[in-house]
């Protein structure tokens, strides 16, 4: 068994690991949010996210429900849920993931079975301190249609075409999201001096208040919007929102 360790990212990569060992590690850490495991035909990555990593991950977790709310559609968050298939010898635990087009199909499921249920419509990957192994082939093989990758400065929007991902300037499913929007939301959410959301760039709203000054009322989020998101993660539960036809891509 070979081992590669990255101190910056608190990441360990193990080789020649059997599926049973991988599943055993998942069982041992079933009730913890870290570390996160990625498995690809014998190669196992074990990663513990740093605070800076989670800072941007949290910003995107806030951004997606806000944009979906404005569209009048439905989103179902599954957080860092484990997705794997033994027949493919692949598995991953994303930083965040969301069901958009397929939200109704998996809502209420205690566990997602990829033999029956669809893969998440959107997977979020944060990679800001050290280049990580390429997980795109895993996502593609399992059938994730959209991937957002954030490097601390820009959000890369990728759409699955055939068996490969193609970069796009914006998301067809969430058209107000583009390469700078996650960075702007993260900066505002965590109070960088003098920074306010630029509504023309983010599309989140022309009068969006700064989160640290937003009036916090019962059931109202940091942006003055009642999030309509259901599922795993820290966002509150809410009634099923209006349904909208989701574009693809």
Whether residue 249 lies inside any domain: the answer is no
- Tokens representing 146? 């959209």
Picking from 186, 187, 151, 146, the residue whose alpha carbon sits closest to that of residue 170 is 146
182: confidence class by pLDDT, cuts 50, 70, 90? low
The count of residues in the chain is: 249
Residues 7-46 as b or e (16 or more Cβ within 10 Å = b) = eebbbebbeebeeeebbebeeebeeeeebbbbbbeebbbb
Of 121-125, 148-152, 236-240, the least confident: 236-240
Whether residue 28 lies inside any domain: the answer is no
Beta-carbon contacts of 87 under 8 Å, excluding residues fewer than 6 positions away, are: none
CA dihedral of 201, 206, 212, 213, whole degrees rounded to 10: 160
Bridge partners (DSSP) of residue 6 are 11
Q: What is the pLDDT of residue 219?
A: 42
Cβ(185)–Cβ(62) below 8 Å: yes
Whether residue 1 lies inside any domain: the answer is no
pLDDT, mean over the chain: 76
Put simply, whether the predicted model's pTM sits higher than 0.85 gets the answer no
- Tokens representing 31? 């009730």
- DSSP reduced 3-state for 61: helix
Cα 217 from Cα 90, distance rounded (Å): 43
Share of the chain above pLDDT 90, in %: 42
Q: What is the pLDDT of residue 5?
A: 46
Q: What is the largest CA-CA distance in the chain?
A: 55
pLDDT digits 0-9 by tens, 39-75: 999 999 999 888 878 888 888 888 888 888 888 889 9
What are the phi and psi torsion angles at 78 (to 5°)?
-115, 10
Which ranges of 32-119 does DSSP label H, i.e. alpha helix? 51-71, 103-106
Cβ(59)–Cβ(186) below 8 Å: yes
- Tokens representing 51? 């605070």
pLDDT digits 0-9 by tens, 73-117: 899 999 999 999 999 999 999 999 999 999 999 988 888 999 999
pLDDT digits 0-9 by tens, 185-222: 666 555 543 333 333 344 443 333 344 443 343 343 43
Cα 230 from Cα 67, distance rounded (Å): 15
Share of the chain above pLDDT 70, in %: 65
The domain that holds 159 is classified in CATH as 3.90.1570
Whether residue 43 lies inside any domain: the answer is no
Which structural domain, as residue segments, surrounds residue 186? 50-232
Of 22-26, 124-128, 166-170, 220-224, the least confident: 220-224
* Helix axis angle, 51-71 to 181-189, nearest 10°: 110
Whether residue 200 lies inside any domain: the answer is yes
Whether residue 189 lies inside any domain: the answer is yes
Beta-carbon contacts of 42 under 8 Å, excluding residues fewer than 6 positions away, are: 15, 16, 17, 18, 89
Whether residue 155 lies inside any domain: the answer is yes
- The H or E element spanning position 198 is none
Number of domains in the chain: 1
More confident residue, 155 or 24: 24
Whether residue 32 lies inside any domain: the answer is no
């Amino acid at each position: 068994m070979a081992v590669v360790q990255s101190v910056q990212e608190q990441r360990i990569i193990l080789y020649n690991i059997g599926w049973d060992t991988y599943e055993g590690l998942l069982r041992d850490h079933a009730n913890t949010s870290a570390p996160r495991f990625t498995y690809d035909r014998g190669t196992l990555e074990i990663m513990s996210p740093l605070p800076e990593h989670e800072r941007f991950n949290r910003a995107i977790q806030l951004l997606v429900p806000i944009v979906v709310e404005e569209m009048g559609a439905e989103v179902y968050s599954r957080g860092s849920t484990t997705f794997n298939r033994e027949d493919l010898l692949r598995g991953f635990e994303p930083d965040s993931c969301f069901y958009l087009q397929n939200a109704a199909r998996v809502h209420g499921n205690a566990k997602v079975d990829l033999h029956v249920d669809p893969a998440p419509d959107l997977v979020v990957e944060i990679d800001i301190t050290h280049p990580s192994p390429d997980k795109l082939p895993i996502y593609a093989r399992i059938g994730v249609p959209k991937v957002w990758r954030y490097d601390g400065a820009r959000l890369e929007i990728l759409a699955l075409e055939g068996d490969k991902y193609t970069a796009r300037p914006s998301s067809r499913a969430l058209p107000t999201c583009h390469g700078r929007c996650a960075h702007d939301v993260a900066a505002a959410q965590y109070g960088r001096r003098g920074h306010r959301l630029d509504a023309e760039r983010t599309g989140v709203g022309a009068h969006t208040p700064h989160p640290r000054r937003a009036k916090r009322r019962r059931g109202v989020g940091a942006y003055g919007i009642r999030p309509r998101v259901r599922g795993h993660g820290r966002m509150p539960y809410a009634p099923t929102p209006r349904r909208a036809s989701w574009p693809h891509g």
